[in-house]
Amino acid sequence: MQIQLSDHFTYGRLLRFVFPSILTMFFTTIYSIVDAAFVSNFVGKTSFAAVNLVMPVLMLIAAPGVMMGAGGSALVAKFLGEGDKEKANKAFSTIVYATIAYGITASITASYFMEGLAAFLGADGEFLSQATRYGRIAALGGIAFVSQHLFYCFMIVAEKPKLGFALTVLAGITNIVLDLLFIVVLEWGISGAALATVIGQSVGGFTPFVFFLLRNKTPLRIVKPVFDGRTLSKAMSNGVSELVTNIAMSIVSMLYNFQLIRIAGDTGVAAYGAIMYVSYIFSTFFTGYSFGRAPIISYHYGARNTSELKNLFRMDCVIVAVAGVVLTASSEALALPLAKIFGGYDPNLFEMIRHGIVIYSFAYLLMGANYAGSSFFTALNNGLVSALISFLRTFVFEIIAVLALPIFFGLDGIWSSCAVAEIASFAVTAICVVAFRKKYGYC
C-alpha cells in the first residue's frame, strides 16, 4: 500500500517513506564521489584540487534551486493539506518556471566569468587552467543542476519518492559510465569529467519536468504559467534557510581553501575535497531524512493536526540521536579505506585525508539535530527561524572556527572546525525548539 502524507506515522512507516529520499541523497553523493575519484586517480592531484576549488561556485549556482525546492514544496504541501489542489498546482508551476529562468541566466553568467572567479579563489598557472576548464563546462550545466535539486523535493510531495530515487540512480549511472568513457578510454581529462557530470545532471533534472508536464496520477502537474509574486515570495521566505545553508557552505568552503593553500598548498585543498566528499556520504542520512519527512510535517500543519506533529517531533528526536552515534562510529572505522580511494597513490595526501576524516567525524553527533531542527521550521512555513539556525550554523560559527582554531591547532584546527560549529548550533536549535513549542504545538 502506498504511504500518503495524510497517514498516521509510526517509526516503521516514517522510515519507509523517507528511505527513498535518503537513498536519493546517498546515490547523488556516491556518483559525485566516483566522479572525483576518477579525476584524482586518472587525471591527477592538481586536477582534483581544481575541481574542489570551483565546486563552491557551482554550489552557489544550485543554491536557489535548493531554496525553491525546499520552500516551495513546503508551501505546496500545505495547500494540499488544506484541500486546495488547484492552488497547489498553480503555485508549483509558478515555482518551476521561475526557477528554470533563474538557472539559465546563472549558468551563462557563471561560465563567462569562471576564469576570473578561479583566479580570485587563489588558482594560478596550470591550477588556474584546469579549474577554468572544468568550471566553464560544469557551469553551463547549471540549469540541469538547479532543476535536479528543485524536482527532488517535489517528487516527495507528489508521493513519488521512489521515482525520484530511480531517476537519481539513472543519472548517477550515466555519469559514472561517461566518466569511464571520457576520462579513461578517450582521455579527455578534466573536460571529460565536467561533460559527464553535466549529462548525468541533465537526466536527473529534465526528466521530472517532462513527467510533471504530462498527465500523471500524482497530486501535482505543471499547468499554464501565471506569474504570482506572493507565491514566489512565500516559497523563497520558506526556503531561505536552505539558500543560506548552501551559500554559507560555498563561502566557507572558499575560506577553507584559502586557509589550506596557505598552510598545506594544493595537497591541503585536495585533502579537504576528499574529506568533504566523505562527509557528504555520512550526512546524506540527515539531509535525506530531513527533506523526506518535511512535506509530511507541512501537510499536517496545513491540516491543523497537532497530535501528528507531536508524534513526528518525538520520532525526530530519537532517530537523529541514534543516527548521530552510529554515523560517528562508522566514519571513524572507515577512515582508512576511504582515504585510500582518494589518496592511495600519494602517501602524504593519504595520511592527511585519513587523519582529517577521524577528527571531522565528531561533527555527526549533533549535525542531525541541527539539520532536522532547521528543516522542521521550514516545513512549518517559518523560514525566519529556520534561516537563523542555518545562518549561525553554517556561516557565523564555522567561519569563526576556521579562522580561530588554526591559530592554535594548525591543520587539526581546520579539520575540527565543523564539530565546534555544530556544538554551538545545537544550543541555538534547542532554544528555538523550546521557544516555539506552544505556537506550533509539536511538544
The total number of structural domains that make up the chain: 1
* Beta carbons within 8 Å of 396's beta carbon, 6+ residues apart: none
Question: How far, in Å, CA of 161 to CA of 288, rounded?
Answer: 11
Q: Residue 112 is part of which domain span?
A: 11-440
Question: How far, in Å, CA of 44 to CA of 154, rounded?
Answer: 38
Q: Does residue 3 sit within a domain? A: no
Q: Does residue 4 sit within a domain? A: no
Q: What is the pLDDT of residues 6-20, one digit of tens each?
A: 888 899 889 988 888
Q: Does residue 6 sit within a domain? A: no
Element (H, E) at 233: helix 229-238
Residue in this structure with the C-alpha cell 569562471, named with its chain if needed: 114
For residues 269 and 40, the answer to whether their CB atoms sit within 8 Å is: no
3-state helix, strand, coil in the chain (%, to 5): 85, 0, 15
Q: Does residue 267 sit within a domain? A: yes
- In angstroms, the first-to-last Cα distance of the chain is 30
Q: Does residue 63 sit within a domain? A: yes
Question: How far, in Å, CA of 100 to CA of 105, rounded?
Answer: 9
Question: How far, in Å, CA of 189 to CA of 208, rounded?
Answer: 30
Q: Does residue 357 sit within a domain? A: yes
What sign for the dihedral angle of Cα 388, 410, 257, 180? negative
Question: How far, in Å, CA of 393 to CA of 411, rounded?
Answer: 21
Q: What is the pLDDT of residues 48-93, one digit of tens each?
A: 778 878 887 888 888 888 788 878 888 888 888 888 888 888 999 9
Distances from the Cα of 166 to the Cα of 25, 41, 155, 294, 387, angstroms:
12, 28, 11, 20, 31
The three-state secondary structure class of 381 is: coil
Nearest to residue 245, comparing CAs of 388, 411, 90? 388
Residue type, 27: F
Q: Does residue 72 sit within a domain? A: yes
Q: Does residue 383 sit within a domain? A: yes
pLDDT tens digits in sequence order for the chain, 443 residues long = 577 778 888 998 899 888 888 888 887 777 667 777 788 788 877 887 788 788 878 888 888 887 888 788 888 888 888 888 888 889 999 999 999 999 999 999 999 999 998 888 777 888 889 889 999 999 988 888 888 878 878 888 888 878 888 888 898 889 889 999 999 899 898 899 899 989 988 988 899 999 998 887 888 888 887 777 888 888 887 777 677 777 777 777 778 877 877 787 777 878 887 888 888 888 889 988 988 888 889 888 888 888 998 999 999 999 999 999 999 999 999 999 988 887 777 888 889 899 999 999 999 999 999 989 988 998 888 878 988 898 888 888 988 998 899 888 888 998 999 999 999 999 999 999 999 988 888 87
